[in-house]
Amino acid sequence: MIRFDKFTLKSQEALQAAQTHAQEKSNPQLVPEHLLWALIQQKDGVVLPVLQKLGANIQVLATELSAAVANCTLYAGEDPEDVANFFDFANSLGIEGVMMSPGYSYQHAPRQDVFLGRRKSKELFREIFKIGKKRGSKWHFNQSSMFIDFLAGNQSYQCTPWANPTYNVFGWQKPCYLLVDEGYATSFKDLIENTDWDKYGVGRNPKCDNCMAHCGYEGTAVEHTISSPLTALNVFLFGPRLDGEMAPDSE
Ligand code: SF4
């Protein structure tokens, strides 16, 4: 579990500022772009001078990080060219950010052949990103660079389901909004303290084996962004690696 009390004071301040910024923008989720926005507001922090040294336009970066979204869930049989066209189209409409994810293999779905496995998901994302790179497209995603790197098969992330808790009319859903048969907690405290979190995630639960959904893995990507800001910055500036070996799945 993420231990916020283990973060440096500056990191805690940045997280607080990121949360406030997300609330002010009425954004339903706290995502790494909020955090990067907060980090570049820290005049005496480490991120701002690094970006300045790299020649980044801080004003433009801050404006872009303040900005919106479309949802895009991908299934088996998608044509990478079509998806790339959609992202270009979203850009042309001025949509500020697209949130994308492979469709979760929902066990109660009447058709199971529409879901991508993890390997096929990663291959599809690499193909899509290659097309974007070739076209010189500047797509805007409402997701962290490290999550995109994960989708491209470059990160062995384990799920962090408590990072995006779901509350609905039944209560706090265990462990995430995708698993519908695990029950509900009566309070957030009950959810956090009485969910057997180790039961969930890739390699731990057959229901999780093909999942690469943002609700579970974006939290892991955020934690990685905080612990390795320069790695995240590198992916943010230059994009994910699109060739070579893929990282193994987490165990
Ligand atoms: S891997 Fe995580 S997000 Fe995906 S279904 Fe399992 S617990 Fe939920």
Pinpoint the alpha helices (H) of the chain. 9-24, 32-41, 47-53, 58-65, 80-92, 118-135, 145-151, 188-194, 214-227, 229-238
Q: Is 40 in the pocket of ligand 1 (CB under 6 A)?
A: no
- Cα–Cα distance, 115 to 140 (Å, whole number): 25
User: Residue 246 falls within a domain, yes or no?
Assistant: no
User: Residue 129 falls within a domain, yes or no?
Assistant: no
Q: Is 162 in the pocket of ligand 1 (CB under 6 A)?
A: no
- Which atom, in ligand 1's list, is nearest to the CA of 205? 6
Q: Is 159 in the pocket of ligand 1 (CB under 6 A)?
A: yes
**By alpha-carbon position, which residue is closest to atom 3 of ligand 1?**
216
User: Residue 32 falls within a domain, yes or no?
Assistant: yes
State which of 118, 156, 204, 215 you would mutate to test the pocket of ligand 1, scoring each by most atoms of that ligand within 8 A of its C-beta. Answer: 215
Q: Which domain holds residue 19?
A: 7-66
Q: Provide the domain count of the chain.
A: 1
Single pTM value for the model: 0.73
User: Residue 12 falls within a domain, yes or no?
Assistant: yes
User: Residue 115 falls within a domain, yes or no?
Assistant: no
- Cα–Cα distance, 107 to 117 (Å, whole number): 13
Residue 178 CA to ligand 1 centre (angstroms): 7
User: Residue 14 falls within a domain, yes or no?
Assistant: yes
User: Residue 176 falls within a domain, yes or no?
Assistant: no
**What does the pLDDT profile of the chain (251 residues) look like in tens digits?**
556 677 788 888 888 888 888 777 666 567 777 888 888 888 788 888 888 888 888 888 777 776 656 778 899 889 999 999 999 988 887 777 888 888 888 777 777 788 888 999 999 999 999 999 999 999 988 889 999 999 999 999 999 999 989 888 889 999 998 998 999 999 999 999 999 999 999 999 999 988 999 999 999 999 999 999 999 999 999 999 999 999 988 77
